[in-house]
Amino acid sequence: MSGWDIADIPDQTGRTIVVTGANSGLGKVTAGALARAGAQVIMACRNEVKARGVADEIGHGAQVRRLDLADLTSVREFADGVDTVDVLINNAGIMAPPAGRTADGFETQFGTNHLGHFALTGLLLDRVRERVVTVSSGAHAAGKIDLADPNWERRKYQRWPAYGQSKLANLMFAYELQRRLTAAGSAKLSVAAHPGYAATGLQSHTDSFYDGLMAVGNRVFAQSAHMGALPTLYAAVAPEVEPGGYYGPGGPLGLRGHPARSGSTTASRDEVTARRLWELSEQLTKVTFPFTRR
C-alpha cells in the first residue's frame, strides 16, 4: 500500500456508500473522492443545509439525508430509509466538548461517537453487502472503558478522558464486530481507521482555550484533510484490506503519511471488555445485531 492515494481508488460505479458526518473535514473529502470514483454516496449528516452545499460541490453521485447520531430516533429514521449499502463508513464524531447529554441522556461523546454508530451499524448490517469502516483515533490510547459509569453520571466529567473512552469504544467495537461476523460465517468485513493528526474543523468545537491551541497545531504540525482521509478510504475500498484491520498514516508515530497497518493498545484488544461493552451498548441503544450462524 506504499504511497496509496485517491488516484488508486478502484472504480466504484454501481456501488452505494454511506458516509456519516460527510459535510465537513475528513467526511467531506471521503464523500467527494468516492463520488468522483463513481459511487452513489449517501451523506448522512445532522446539518442538512451545510451538507447540501457540499453535495452541490461534489455534484453527481452525492445525496444528503438527515442523521443525528446524538438522537436514536433519528438513527432509526435514517436506517429505515436506506436500502442496500455496499460500505458503511462510521466517520462522524465530536471531540472534547463541554459536558452535555444526547437526546437519550447519554454523555455526548460516548453517545454520539460510539452508541450512535453502534446503533446505526446494527440497524443496517443486514443491508450492508461488503464492509463496515469505523473511524477511531490515536487518542484511543488514552481511553479507558468504564463499564460501571460510561456516561459520566457518577464521576466528574473530564472532556479528554471522555473523548479517549469514546474512541477506544469505536476501535473495540470494530474488532468485536469482526469477531462476531467471522463466528457467524459472514464474508462481510469490519475495518477500523484513524487519520493521524489532520487539520479539520473537529478541533474547533471544544468551546475552550484548546480551540486556539489546536488551531496553531493545525497550521504548524497537522497534515491536510486530504491526507487524513486516506486511511478511511483505503479501509473502505482497497481489495487487500484484512478482516479486523486497523489502518492509519504510516509516518512517524502514525501522525502523518500514506495509509499503512496501524498498531493499537492492549486495552483495545481486550475481548472480555469488548464483549461486555457490546452487551452494554445493546442494552443502552436497544439495538441487537442480526447475526445468523452457519
The residues annotated as belonging to the active site are: 163
Q: Which of 255, 261, 226, 258 is nearest to 240 (CA)?
A: 261
Burial 196-206 (b: 16+ CB within 10 A, else e): bbbbbebbeeb
- The β-bridge partners of 148 are none
Q: What is the DSSP string of 163-192?
A: HHHHHHHHHHHHHHHHHHHHHTT---EEEE
Handedness of CA 50, 51, 54, 60 (dihedral sign): negative
Torsional sign, CA 34, 219, 256, 44: negative
d(CA 98, CA 158): 9
